[in-house]
Amino acid sequence: MTIRDDSSSCYNSSGQLDKNISRLVKLTDDSNTPGRAFTESLMKNALGELGRLEVKNENGKNIIIKSNWLEKTMGWAAMVAVACGALLAIVVSTILKMSFLLEVIIVLTMFLHWLTYLGERIL
């Protein structure tokens, strides 16, 4: 979160002495307001951070929209598949004259598969 941006390597070469002198000299400032460079630099960096967070949030929203769309489509497809399967089971069992019990088992199995899918979506 360093906000000071001075391109001069000479300024940075004296390291700790430079930092300490800076802190000492600032003690003699009677204005009771922060320096111009500090204010400008902080403003620039804070707004930059705000912009970066906005971009991140927008990307996050897009991902959520995509996943919602995908989930809805898959849900509808599953429901249609289950309905078609049930219908097919009834038709096939009627044509082949299968026992009523077998027909009920097939329909129940498909219904349970559908419930499992819905349960996963809700949880």
Partner 1 sequence: MRDGLERQSWAGFAQGNAGIWQEFIDREIIRLYGMFMRHWPNPSLAEELVQKTIFDDVRGRGSFDPSRGSPEEWILGIARNNIRLELRRRANRPSANGDLSHYLEVIDTEPLPDEVLEREETSAIVRLALSRLESKEQAVLKSKYIDGFSAREIARQMSTTEKTVYSLLYRAKISLRQELKRISALQKKGQLL
* Contacting residues toward partner 1, per CB under 8 A: 1, 3, 6, 8, 10-11, 14, 16-29, 32-39, 42-43, 46-47, 49-51, 53-54, 57
> CB-wise, 52 or 66, nearer to partner 1?
52
What one-character-per-residue DSSP string does 61-77 give? HHHHHHHHHHHHHHHHH
> Among candidates 101, 121, 99, which has minimal Cα distance to 109?
101
Q: How far is the CB of 62 from partner 1 (least distance, A)?
A: 17
The number of helix segments (H) and strand segments (E) in the chain equals: 4, 0
The encoded tokens of residue 21 equal 């002198």
> CB-wise, 37 or 108, nearer to partner 1?
37
> CB-wise, 26 or 66, nearer to partner 1?
26
